[in-house]
């Protein structure tokens, strides 16, 4: 950390701040407690993964169900107004998600998508614990290149 100059440090801090909405923070904290060390906000990684685990060749994206248009999810309700605007927006977001997935898979990195619905609502803390355990199992014991964790 001390190798960063003040300007870089500032950039890093503002990135951390802007990305520190609670779902990401909760999963990061839970993994950190278990001894996992990761990178965040590293521009070398396309798609801005929320958690980067270089030793595991793994990236984790925490997806908001609305912005990433989680189909069939109760947190994704298609807006009633400006429908063509939203249609385009969601299509773009989904296309970008698919591109990112393809990129990491081509590099033989593993990708985990945690949908926000897996870690919000009732019994939130239990859900976060369960999600964290699932991620660790995937990192440590499984070879699957792709893992998706969702709520309902
Ligand atoms: Zn969802």
Q: Where are the domains of the chain?
A: 21-149
Q: How far is the CA of 7 from the centre of ligand 1 (A)?
A: 37
Q: How far is the CA of 150 from the centre of ligand 1 (A)?
A: 6
Between CA 98 and CA 128 the distance in angstroms is 25
56-76 pLDDT tens trace: 999 999 999 999 999 999 999
Predicted pLDDT of residue 20: 56
Q: How far is the CA of 75 from the centre of ligand 1 (A)?
A: 6
Dihedral (C-alpha) 32, 23, 14, 70: value to the nearest 10 degrees? 130
CATH number listed for the domain at residues 21-149: 3.40.960.10
Q: How far is the CA of 65 from the centre of ligand 1 (A)?
A: 4
Those residues of the chain that have pLDDT short of 70 are 1-21, 152
Predicted pLDDT of residue 41: 86
């Amino acid at each position: 950390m001390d190798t960063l100059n003040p300007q870089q440090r500032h950039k890093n801090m503002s990135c951390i701040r802007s990305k520190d909405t609670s779902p990401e923070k909760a999963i990061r904290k839970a993994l950190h407690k278990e001894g996992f060390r990761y990178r965040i906000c590293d521009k070398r990684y396309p798609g801005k993964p929320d958690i980067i685990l270089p030793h595991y060749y793994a990236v984790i994206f925490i997806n908001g169900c609305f912005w990433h248009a989680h189909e069939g999810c109760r947190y994704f309700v298609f807006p009633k107004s400006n429908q063509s605007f939203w249609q385009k927006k969601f299509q773009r977001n989904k296309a970008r998600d698919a591109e990112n997935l393809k990129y990491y898979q081509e590099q033989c990195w593993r990708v985990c998508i945690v949908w926000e619905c897996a870690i919000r609502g009732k019994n939130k803390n239990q859900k976060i614990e369960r999600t964290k355990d699932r991620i660790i199992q995937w990192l440590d014991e499984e070879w699957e290149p792709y893992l998706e964790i969702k709520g309902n």
